[in-house]
Structure 1
């Protein structure tokens, strides 16, 4: 993120574009835009606004997501600057064609990275390297770590375990295993 901010700051100094606010994403681009800060930004945009991003692949993780986001922004009259690709995307046809080409190349790049990772893992496995957590070793941290008091309180108040698991956003089996390990009974 620091590298992206650095590149955007260089772009701002070079072009003189004024920045009103910054958004940073700490969650994956595979998550729907409306569940990210990007979605909130898109909702606030209006004609003449400018969005600067380091590259189009930062908007989403596949061609359709990127194209959908760009389509919404372009229909609203928002201009998108991409620092790495050095393009200004607006309402014109050329911008739409460039955006399409960029999103396809970003998706191909991600696909190739994924393929290389899978191949490397297969090679390691073929070499006899055991992948994953060593067999028999337990996790030191669980999704529910730190929730012991809350679980005990909810159980003492008569909440059913299914409702507790929904409240804590875990599956019932995760809750049961955690309760068993922490010896939480009611």
Structure 2
């Protein structure tokens, strides 16, 4: 029986350090911790695939939180079921849940479905808020360059690109974006 660990963050801007420390303090050897730095929306993750290939009957996989293992119900069920059939248990440190036994597996699947539903509700609320904000005149995205107004005037007067860039401080890309926008207007 081996104690294995899995840690995942969604982007390379996030750090695995806290998860790895928690796994180590729970008894997982560093050489048995598998990691990924990508979205959990798919189970096509290199670290997860290596972990599942390494895990054998009676091994236990520790994961800090359920959403680190998978972000949607179907992938979570697939991972849990694959491990369950191989005799591999999964334990989540955050809430103490485990797939050991038939009740444990059922609880994990229910919680994965609830977590996915909550993510969908959050996305709906975020999109509704965005629509309301846009209707109220809130502008999204980058703020226009401070020299854009003057640059548009100079472009309208057919001022050479180099002079427009020098006088306004805009980049070459901004110049052409403004010029193309002016043509469409």
TM interval, shorter chain, is 0.5 to 0.7
Answer yes or no: is 1:65 the counterpart of 2:65: no
Contact 2:61 2:91 in 1 (8 A): yes
Give the greater-gyration-radius structure (CA).
2
- The answer for the alignment partner of 2:19 in structure 1 is 4
- The answer for the alignment partner of 1:104 in structure 2 is 113
Counterpart CA distance in 2 for 1:131 and 1:114 is: 17
The residue correspondences of 1:40-51 to structure 2 (distance < 5 A) are 40-51=50-61
Structure with the higher fraction of residues in strand conformation: 2
Q: 1:50 to 1:101 in 2, by over 3 A?
A: same
Contact 1:89 1:96 in 2 (8 A): yes
Higher relative contact order (CA 8 A, sep 6+): 2
The residue correspondences of 1:53-92 to structure 2 (distance < 5 A) are 53-90=63-100, 92=101
Counterpart CA distance in 2 for 1:112 and 1:98 is: 21
For normalisation by structure 1, the TM-score amounts to 0.61
1:139-169 deviation line (CA, Å, top 9, x unaligned): xxxxxxxxxxxxxxxxxxxxxxxxxxxxxxx
Q: Return 5+ residue gaps in structure 1 as ranges.
A: 137-186
Counterpart CA distance in 2 for 1:5 and 1:118 is: 34
Backbone CA RMSD of aligned residues: 2.5
- The answer for the alignment partner of 1:145 in structure 2 is none
Structure 1 position 109, deviation (Å): 2.1
Q: Return 5+ residue gaps in structure 2 as ranges.
A: 1-15, 146-185
